[in-house]
């Protein structure tokens, strides 16, 4: 009988409670999260997590890496095939580190970057408050059209021609319609700027062919994390169109922003990449159907869903304005009490001082899609949300319904169906290889 000391027991309890709560009892609608398949998770537990590998595959500063090298090249190839390029960097350990790498490689202190405004969806790393600012690159904001819920293309082209930046950045975190890559790429290239596209939110949609690949539309560099719509482990990625840019970013990744790159995640990235290769189209198209159904259901329940004139969404996200119900902060908290996990979000019309209680809730359907939910379930979730936000029902009562509803969804879809015995065999190898071989 295992009888741990009290402090160890507490650590174990916290982890078990979190896992049961978030993975079994909650409806997770955070647009930047996902769950890995059991196969990806089990291979994530590999011994590579203990090892060091500074440098590029087969040109390392440490010994003992022959399998790591092989795996890294394999994972790069899998991701390259999905993204239609030979040049993929998997060493950035997050999307922000991937962004920092490109900023440093492509611009200098004092240069300018033209970016999407943060209220209109840019990631904080694209701003003067984040990585761009830390590297001394000046942020110049593109005009944004709230009617179109997109960049004002003519205004942005004019701005790029006037400012002549070194870098133009598209993509972001609050993101319901594709940005106009082709037009912006032409403007960027006409003044000698590079176009970087932050695909963190939509990588799973891109590789599932439900969202245009920005590299095919004229972007020079794509950065991403690997754990939002792409259902891999937390990590970063850079893909470039040319070998020259690939070499440039590689020299910055190491030694500037990454020493070791958390090697065990390469296995899980490769598995998630293969899941997308074989099941990505079905997954991505169901995400789009779910997001649309969810937006329509929320509107029918009485929510103010943004971009009604544009059909609400073409991505995994749905955005609701809950200012009339007390704001994003209050409602995100109430929903958490009902086991519905969302985040509050600034909307284009919010003022900087609204940051603590912005108008919006940002909702993402990629994780619930992965759990096998479809349009009917989207309507049910919209009803749960109405009970809490609009009807003012006791969240504890709604929580009971959510836990009951969630019981039906225990299997991760759009992955390989491996038998439980094989999963357990692999798990045992990761933990106790001496007992298997």
Minimum CB distance to ligand DSN smaller for 123 or for 406: 123
How near is the Cβ of 221 to ligand DSN at its closest, in Å?
Answer: 18
**Minimal CB distance to ligand DSN: which residue?**
32
How near is the Cβ of 32 to ligand DSN at its closest, in Å?
Answer: 3
Residue with tokens 């899941």: 275
Minimum CB distance to ligand DSN smaller for 95 or for 415: 95
Minimum CB distance to ligand DSN smaller for 362 or for 399: 362
Site for ligand DSN, rule CB under 6 A: 32, 95, 123, 173, 200
Minimum CB distance to ligand DSN smaller for 124 or for 140: 124
3-state secondary structure 326-373: CCHHHHHHHHHHCCEECEEECCCCCCHHHCCCCCEEEEECHHHHHCCC
How near is the Cβ of 309 to ligand DSN at its closest, in Å?
Answer: 24
Minimum CB distance to ligand DSN smaller for 32 or for 76: 32
Q: How far is CA 250 from CA 54, 104, 219, 233, 237, in A?
A: 12, 11, 18, 21, 11
Q: In 3-state terms, what secondary structure has residue 167?
A: strand
State the Cα–Cα distance between residues 257 and 229, nearest whole angstrom.
25
Minimum CB distance to ligand DSN smaller for 223 or for 286: 223
How near is the Cβ of 46 to ligand DSN at its closest, in Å?
Answer: 26
Minimum CB distance to ligand DSN smaller for 97 or for 295: 97
Of 175, 169, 234, 235, which Cα lies nearest the Cα of 206? 175
Write the DSSP assignment of 73-92 as a string of letters: HHHHHHHHHHHT-SEEE---
| Strand partners of residue 127 | none
How near is the Cβ of 123 to ligand DSN at its closest, in Å?
Answer: 5
434 contacts: CB under 8 Å, gap ≥ 6: none
Q: What count of other Cβ atoms lies within 10 Å of the Cβ of residue 187?
A: 20
How near is the Cβ of 371 to ligand DSN at its closest, in Å?
Answer: 19
How near is the Cβ of 364 to ligand DSN at its closest, in Å?
Answer: 9
């Amino acid at each position: 009988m295992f009888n741990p000391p009290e402090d160890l027991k507490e650590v174990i309890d916290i982890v078990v409670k979190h896992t049961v709560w978030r993975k079994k009892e909650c409806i997770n609608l955070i647009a930047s999260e996902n769950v890995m398949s059991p196969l990806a998770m089990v291979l994530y537990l590999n011994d590579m997590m203990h090892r060091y590998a500074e440098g590029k595959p087969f040109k390392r500063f440490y010994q003992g890496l022959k399998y790591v090298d092989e795996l890294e090249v394999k994972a790069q190839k899998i991701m390259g095939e999905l993204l239609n390029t030979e040049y993929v960097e998997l060493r950035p350990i997050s999307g922000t580190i991937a962004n920092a790498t490109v900023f440093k490689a492509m611009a200098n202190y004092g240069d300018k970057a033209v970016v999407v405004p943060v209220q209109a969806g840019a990631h904080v790393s694209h701003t003067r408050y984040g990585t761009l600012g830390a590297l001394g690159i000046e942020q110049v904001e593109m005009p944004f059209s709230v009617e179109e819920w997109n960049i004002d293309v003519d205004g942005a082209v004019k701005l790029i021609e006037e400012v002549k930046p070194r870098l133009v950045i598209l993509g972001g975190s609050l993101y319901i319609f594709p940005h106009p890559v082709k037009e912006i790429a032409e403007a960027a290239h006409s003044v000698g700027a590079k176009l970087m596209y932050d695909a963190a939110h939509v990588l799973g949609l891109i590789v599932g062919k439900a969202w245009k690949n920005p590299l095919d539309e004229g972007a020079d560099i794509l950065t991403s994390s690997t754990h939002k719509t792409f259902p891999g482990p937390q990590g970063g990625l850079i893909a470039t169109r040319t070998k020259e840019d690939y070499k440039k970013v590689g020299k910055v990744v190491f030694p500037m922003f990454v020493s070791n790159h958390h090697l065990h995640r390469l296995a899980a990235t490769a598995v998630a990449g293969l899941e997308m290769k074989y099941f990505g189209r079905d997954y991505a198209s169901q995400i789009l159907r779910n997001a649309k159904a969810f937006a329509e259901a929320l509107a029918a329940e009485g929510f103010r869903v943004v971009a009604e004139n544009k059909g609400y969404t073409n991505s995994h996200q749905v955005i609701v304005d809950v200012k009339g119900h007390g704001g994003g902060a209050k409602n995100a908290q109430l929903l958490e009490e009902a086991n519905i996990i969302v985040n509050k979000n600034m909307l284009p019309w919010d003022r900087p001082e609204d940051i603590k209680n912005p108008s919006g809730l940002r909702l993402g359907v990629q994780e619930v899609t992965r759990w096998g939910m479809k349009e009917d379930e989207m309507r049910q979730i919209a009803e749960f949300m109405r009970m809490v936000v609009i009807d003012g029902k006791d969240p504890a009562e709604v929580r009971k319904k959510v836990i009951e509803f969630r019981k039906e969804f225990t299997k991760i879809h759009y992955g390989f169906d491996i038998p439980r015995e094989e999963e357990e065999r692999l798990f045992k190898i990761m933990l106790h290889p001496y007992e298997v071989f």
